[in-house]
Amino acid sequence: MEVARLTPGEVIARMQRGERFIFIDARSSPEWNAAESKLPGAIHVPVDEINLHLKEIPLGHPLVSYSCSADERRSAQVAKELTRRGFLNAYPLVGGFEAWCKAGYPVECKAKTNG
């Protein structure tokens, strides 16, 4: 199953028209723990821990999954698995976190956690 992808510009344009997205951070736990920022309101859902995080993901909004860089395999895997589990409109972000930041779009600081 192939899922449609969205570019950072497409996400921002849709947000400016009033659409609300839920960002899903598909970075591995070590990458997540080392990171200082995330996309606004992002929920950390590593591809190998989807079952543990399903209840955290709100229903009824499009989901945009991303990983750290242009390697979109993890974010695509998360989007595919969420779609398979009944979440509608799950899209991997073209270029990932790196492309979002390079475009100058907003990020937020994330609280450091132990583990």
Question: What six digits make up the tokens of 70?
Answer: 């242009």
Question: What stretches of 43-72 show up as alpha helix (H) in DSSP?
Answer: 50-53
Give exposure, 23-59, as e/b (b: 16+ Cβ within 10 Å): bbbbbbeebbeebeebbeebbbbbbeebeeeeeebee
- What pLDDT sits at residue 115? 43
Q: What is the pLDDT along the chain (115 residues), one digit of tens a residue?
A: 677 999 999 999 999 999 999 999 999 999 899 999 999 999 999 989 999 999 999 988 999 999 987 567 889 999 999 999 999 899 999 999 999 999 999 999 987 554 4
pTM of the predicted structure, to 2 decimals? 0.91
Half-sphere exposure of 77 (CA within 13 A, CB side): 15
Q: How far apart are CA 104 and CA 100, in angstroms?
A: 7
Domains detected in the chain: 8-109 (3.40.250.10)
